[in-house]
Amino acid sequence: MRSPHRHLVTGFLFFSLLLGACQAGIDAFQQNKKLGRAVNIIGYDPIWSSFEQARFKEKHFQLIKQAGFDSVRINLHAFRHMDKNTNFALSKDWLEVLEWAITNALNNELAVILDLHEFNAMGDDPTGTKDLFLAFWTQIAPRYKDAPDEVLFEILNEPCRSVTPQLWNEYMHQALAIIRQSNPDRTVVIGPAHWNTINQLNVLDLPEADRNIIVTVHYYEPMNFTHQGAPWSSHKDQIGIQWHGSEEEKQNIIRDFDKAQAWSKEHNRPLLLGEFGVFDKAEMPSRSRYLRFITRTVEGYGWSWAYWQFDKDFVLYDIDNDTWNQPVIDALIPKHP
């Protein structure tokens, strides 16, 4: 081709390809597919204070991958590891554990959500913790600016109590602006107020122009079933509640999920069910039926999901005996190897 426009045409083609590649790289729906099936890990592991006392070891990343999971959500209780005397600097040891966890997840082809899990501290005192909250993202965002797309940031788990929906919108915008300074193309996970409840999606005020966001909701309904016997819950004294999987029980869940799905379609935002599960005191057949129903239903909507949790309670993996909680893994991932 000898046309004088040749360079222009080639240039245009190249530019289009580049643009296409960039956009493809940051498509939040594609990113959500990568999250797929996830599990919450190490939030309450002694690893953060002493690597030697860790319950969760390197081999567990491989086990998680082999079982059929696509990603992990790392629950970060970071505030107690930030030094008030030096601009809330995160401790070196804590950052090393984080680095270890991210590296091992990625080495095992697991995507990673870095979930700031300081919902209790913030829910109790939003004003007193605001500096810590912003300082966390001021340090973590630039630190991981060159990390692969498979590393996602979740601004805050379950904004609640004194973090009202209005205040949450304000805080979330500020944190997102900090993140975007160093990570213009990072996928960010954001959920509604009131413990990431579906009913608050309508007042979640996301920046319209920022399309690289996955929206997360949590679901533990019916609470008297999922939280029976859980010491911190108002249902701690009632056990023996079953979930039969009756049409009515299923419809109650579908009605809630349909609301979220309608919101997701209207706003063109992908959804992650970032937490769900049944406390260990529930009888296993009910627990298994419920988990199966939740996961298959959510997958039918095209959402990703993250089971609560690997270890500690709601146990998916019995670390002491080195074995999966079989009915739970069978329910979550039916065809696992």
CB atoms within 10 A of CB 161: 16
**Which residue type is seen at 225?**
F
Residues of span 110-169 touching ligand BGC by CB under 6 A: 117, 157-158
45 binds ligand BGC (CB under 6 A): no
Q: How far is the CB of 208 from ligand BGC (least distance, A)?
A: 29
308 binds ligand BGC (CB under 6 A): yes
Distances (CA, A) of 109 to 62, 231, 267, 303: 9, 36, 30, 20
Q: How far is the CB of 157 from ligand BGC (least distance, A)?
A: 6
**Which residue type is seen at 271?**
L
Nearer to ligand BGC, 81 or 117 (CB): 117
Nearer to ligand BGC, 137 or 308 (CB): 308
Q: Which long-range contacts (CB under 8 A, 24 or more apart) does 256-261 make?
A: 256/198, 256/219, 256/221, 257/198, 257/219, 257/297, 257/298, 257/301, 259/198, 259/199, 259/201, 260/198, 260/201, 260/217, 261/301
Tokens representing 133 are 């909250």
Nearer to ligand BGC, 132 or 178 (CB): 132
Q: Which residues of 91-128 are buried (b: 16+ CB within 10 A; e: fewer)?
A: eeebbebbeebbebbbebebbbbbbbbbbebbbeebee
Q: How far is the CB of 117 from ligand BGC (least distance, A)?
A: 6
311 binds ligand BGC (CB under 6 A): no
Which of 37, 33, 53 has the alpha carbon at shortest distance from 45?
A: 53
Cα separation, 213 vs 203, in Å, equals: 16
Q: How far is the CB of 330 from ligand BGC (least distance, A)?
A: 22
* Count of residues engaged in binding ligand BGC, rule: CB under 6 A: 5
Cα separation, 242 vs 289, in Å, equals: 10
Nearer to ligand BGC, 105 or 306 (CB): 306
Nearer to ligand BGC, 257 or 308 (CB): 308
Choose, by CB under 6 A, the member of 48, 275, 287, 291 that binds ligand BGC. Answer: 275
Q: How far is the CB of 44 from ligand BGC (least distance, A)?
A: 7
Q: How far is the CB of 168 from ligand BGC (least distance, A)?
A: 16
Q: How far is the CB of 158 from ligand BGC (least distance, A)?
A: 6
Residues of span 212-251 touching ligand BGC by CB under 6 A: none
Nearer to ligand BGC, 19 or 223 (CB): 223
Where along the sequence are the contacts to ligand BGC (CB under 6 A)? 117, 157-158, 275, 308
